[in-house]
């Protein structure tokens, strides 16, 4: 028996953004992996991690698209599995680009711990408590981890190490910092739209189906922009400092 292919209905923008996200991140992975052979050894690990991030995301998006088409619901669990793998890796990039300036393993673990804390508490609020008005509490707790990452990148150890490194590293850190500050801010917006207690107990979208629909589109666009964008910044850095 052949495999049945579920087509995307006209106007199904959630499934369409899942499809575009899959293709875009797979294409980015191919690009990063093929460019490894021409990347200097100094930056090869950073570019490799960029490719791994987008590859993991592409595989998850392929399954999330299928799940959404088959069930008509948001693949919350699979999305958070993806984030638990890719977001800490994005934080690892900050350690890798500042390692030459003296970044220690303690900084790496701070970044990873903050990202995992942010995601686990966000999942509790969105998936386990998404049907009651305590979601905003978990969303607030999750934002503590996010704020700590922002502080490290803009004012803390990462910022100080980047400033003491080369001009190219300092510029790359500022650009990545903007992705964290502005690009990652799209995720709290999706959380607010998609959970019943997303904004102090009052959802911005009262219809649960519409809320989930808006949340998935926001998350899908945010993922593609942030993950591919992160990788391109690292790639540009590897070319500015051969």
User: What pLDDT score does 196 carry?
Assistant: 62
Q: How far is the C-alpha of 241 from the C-alpha of 19, rounded, in Å?
A: 35
Question: CA 39, CA 31: separation in Å to the nearest integer?
Answer: 12
- Architecture of the domain spanning 13-240: Up-down Bundle (1.20)
Look at residue 194 in the predicted model and tell me its pLDDT. Answer: 65
pTM of the model: 0.89
Helix locations, the chain, DSSP H = 13-35, 44-71, 76-98, 105-123, 135-154, 157-164, 167-178, 186-194, 208-240
Residue closest to 176 by CA, chosen among 104, 79, 89: 89
DSSP class per residue in 42-89: TTHHHHHHHHHHHHHHHHHHHHHHHHHHHHSS--HHHHHHHHHHHHHH
Structure tokens of 131? 């049907």
> Residue 214: what pLDDT?
78
The upper half-sphere exposure of residue 141, i.e. CA atoms within 13 Å in the direction of its Cβ, equals: 15
Q: Is 206 buried (19+), middle (13-18) or exposed (0-12) by CB count in 10 A?
A: exposed
Q: Give the per-residue pLDDT at 1.
A: 42
Closest CA to 58 of 82, 40, 41: 82
Rg over CA atoms, the chain: 18
Tell me, what's the pLDDT at 56? 98
Kindly give the confidence (pLDDT) of every residue in the chain, 242 residues in length, as a single tens digit, with 9 standing for 90 and above: 444 445 555 567 888 899 999 999 999 999 999 999 999 999 999 999 999 999 999 999 999 999 988 888 889 899 999 999 999 999 999 999 999 899 999 999 999 999 999 999 989 888 765 555 677 788 889 999 999 999 999 999 999 999 999 999 999 999 999 999 999 988 877 777 666 655 555 555 555 566 677 788 888 999 999 999 999 999 999 999 76
Q: What is the pLDDT of residue 204?
A: 52
C-alpha span between 227 and 86 (Å, rounded): 8
Please report the pLDDT score of residue 216 as a whole number: 87
Q: What would the two tokens of residue 187 be?
A: 């995720």
Distance of CA 18 to CAs 86, 198, 216, Å? 17, 23, 9
């Amino acid at each position: 028996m052949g495999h049945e292919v579920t087509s995307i209905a006209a106007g199904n923008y959630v499934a369409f953004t899942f499809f575009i996200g899959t293709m875009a991140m797979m294409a980015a992975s191919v690009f990063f992996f093929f460019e490894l052979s021409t990347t200097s050894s100094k930056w090869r690990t950073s570019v490799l991690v960029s490719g791994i991030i987008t590859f993991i995301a592409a595989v998850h998006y392929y399954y999330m698209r299928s799940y959404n088409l088959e069930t008509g619901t948001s693949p919350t669990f699979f999305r958070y599995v993806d984030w638990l793998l890719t977001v800490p890796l994005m934080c690892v990039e900050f350690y890798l680009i500042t390692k030459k300036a003296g970044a220690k393993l303690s900084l790496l673990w701070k970044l990873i711990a903050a990202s995992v804390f942010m995601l686990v508490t966000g999942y509790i609020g969105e998936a386990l408590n998404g049907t009651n008005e305590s979601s905003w509490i978990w969303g607030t707790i999750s934002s503590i981890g996010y704020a700590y990452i922002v502080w490290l990148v803009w004012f803390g150890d990462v910022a100080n190490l980047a400033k003491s490194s080369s001009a190219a590293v300092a510029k790359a850190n500022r650009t990545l910092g903007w992705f964290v500050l502005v690009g990652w801010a799209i995720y709290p917006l999706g959380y607010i739209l998609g959970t019943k207690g997303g904004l102090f107990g009052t959802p911005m979208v009262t219809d649960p189906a519409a809320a989930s629909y808006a949340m998935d589109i926001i998350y899908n666009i945010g993922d593609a922009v942030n993950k591919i964008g992160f990788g391109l910044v690292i790639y540009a850095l590897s070319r500015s400092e051969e």
